[in-house]
Structures are given as structure tokens and as C-alpha cells.
Amino acid sequence: MNDLQLLGGVLLTLAVLGAAAITLTAVILAAASAARSGPAPHGGIRPGRSPHPEPGQAPDDWIRPDQAPDPQPDPDDARVLVLR
């Protein structure tokens, strides 16, 4: 008789935990969908500009990869990893 009561208690506990997990999931999904204030912005931080230059035009801030200068290491980033 005690084994049957223990099994019933375990099954009830699992059912309550499952219901709590489903409820928590539903609340999180509802909060995430309610937090969206509108459509996501299209593009990046400079709207209205093409990411690629037009043929025949060369924007001032666009550099061809083969003409780019070699990157120089930043002296502030010169760190040594010491393992002890």
C-alpha cells in the first residue's frame, strides 16, 4: 500500500512540474511577443545606402580589398597569457 502511495506522489509531482514548465514557457513566449513594438528595422545603421558601390562610382569610404593597407597590431592589445 505504501509503495502505491509513493508512486502516486511521484507521478503527481512530475505532473505538477510538467504543468509548471509548460506554463512558464507560455508566459515567456507571450512576454516576448508582447515586447515587440513594431517591425524590425531593415538594413543597418545607414539606411538608404547600397552596401556595394555603383558601377562607375567610388565612395570615399569604400576601399577595394587588394588596395587596403595591412592591419597593424594595436599596442594596447599586446598581452601575454600566463598559465600557472
Segment 7-24 shows an average pLDDT of 96
Please give the residue range of the domain that contains residue 5. 1-35
Q: Is 20 a member of any domain?
A: yes
Q: Is 24 a member of any domain?
A: yes
Q: Is 29 a member of any domain?
A: yes
Asked whether 51 and 60 are in contact (CB, 8 A), the reply is no
Q: Is 60 exceeded by the pLDDT of residue 22? A: yes
More confident residue, 68 or 3: 3
The whole model's pTM is what? 0.41
Q: For 54-73, what is each residue's pLDDT tens digit?
A: 666 555 666 677 777 777 77
Separation CA 62–CA 52 (nearest Å): 9
pLDDT confidence band for 2 (50 / 70 / 90): confident
Q: For 34-45, what is each residue's pLDDT tens digit?
A: 776 666 666 556
Q: Is 69 a member of any domain?
A: no
pLDDT at 23: 97
Q: Is 11 a member of any domain?
A: yes
Number of domains in the chain: 1
Q: Is 8 a member of any domain?
A: yes
